[in-house]
Structure 1
């Protein structure tokens, strides 16, 4: 994502791809303009939150008119660097890693997995879904050949910090971490962690809380 003139909160940054995906859908449907209230109702995001998010990037809309869909689409495409491909490394080709390789981000986003590392790979390397897979001990030798900027980490918790240290030392600037452990990284490296068990527990809590509120209102 390109650097902005003012610091954008992380919560806003995480919503930008959601806005882009939805605006892209509107453009494909031929819609020319939309208000923050219409966006709010369609995306289930408070309209005040949408206006605040958009305000970090200047005057994206006009009072009484709303937002021009094509202008928003072009803005988010440039802001999220959708025209510039980002090469990813996948570290850990287990069940989750295999799913990523079969999906590959390039089909729907501007990112693509170009190389993977897994301890079960053949010593000379192997190919899967058009992606070369090497053993982790070859990381320092092979990774520089692929112009990798980011990595997806799907390794056991015990191996996550060591792999993170090695990736950071090789110049990787962003890590999407699926290992259930908090990672320490040097300044200039960003980590976004996704703990599937926590997400599931949060979903269960939300469902049960909705059920309780529904029973209370009867």
Structure 2
């Protein structure tokens, strides 16, 4: 009988890369064992949340003993496929897109931008931060050539859905969307939207609520 895949809450899934990063820090510091409380203090996440997250994956540690750092490191490396590199395409090389190209992800992660697309590119392609940038007309051709499954989308809002409609017909399985547009895609494609203006407004609201709470307590 085929085993059903684990159903991990989305909030937990978003924290997995953070766990991996902080566990790497403990490993680099020579730490052999770590408790949920130590992770909590380092990550600023409630220890009960950490234990609940870890419980979705079975017995990763022992009560009263904690977690073996190397065991956790290997577990999250495999869970996050850290040993397998993923090629990423960037679509839209404006201010934000240029910052992504300069940073690139392979320095610290298993993902790397290998190709980009922008209307400013020349017919034969342009090199930016050692990454080839092509005209949008070559989108489908180059996505196939580079074996792209993940895309970072930083195009103007008016072009977001049009570009996405083209991506739907390719091998792309995931889109990290930095436009404020709520994109329409089939169930076969995952989308994570990061709207910077909404994130800032949420932060401002949280700050004001904290100030109100502090004033009431004073």
Instruction: Output one character per residue of 1:103-157: Cα deviation in whole Å (capped at 9) or x when no partner.
Output: 0011111000010000111122111111111111111222211111100000011
TM-score by length of 1: 0.96
SS at match of 2:106: helix
**Structure 2 equivalent of residue 160 of structure 1:** 160
SS at match of 2:90: strand
**Structure 2 equivalent of residue 79 of structure 1:** 79
Which is further off, 134-143 or 191-200? 134-143
SS at match of 1:132: strand
Cα offset, 1:41, TM superposition: 2.2
Cα offset, 1:168, TM superposition: 2.0
List gaps (5 residues or longer) in structure 1.
none
**Structure 1 equivalent of residue 171 of structure 2:** 171
Instruction: Output one character per residue of 1:171-207: Cα deviation in whole Å (capped at 9) or x when no partner.
Output: 1001000011101111211000000000001111111
Give the length in aligned residue pairs: 216
Write the distance in 1 (CA, Å) between the matches of 2:40 and 2:142.
46
Write the distance in 1 (CA, Å) between the matches of 2:178 and 2:32.
39
- Give 1:169-208 correspondences, 5 Å limit: 169-208=169-208
Write the distance in 1 (CA, Å) between the matches of 2:54 and 2:12.
9
Cα offset, 1:162, TM superposition: 1.3
- Give 1:1-218 correspondences, 5 Å limit: 5-218=5-218
TM-score by length of 2: 0.96
Tell me how large the CA RMSD over aligned residues is: 1.3
Instruction: Output one character per residue of 1:8-42: Cα deviation in whole Å (capped at 9) or x when no partner.
Output: 11110000001000000011001111111221222
Write the distance in 2 (CA, Å) between the matches of 1:209 and 1:30.
40
List gaps (5 residues or longer) in structure 2.
none
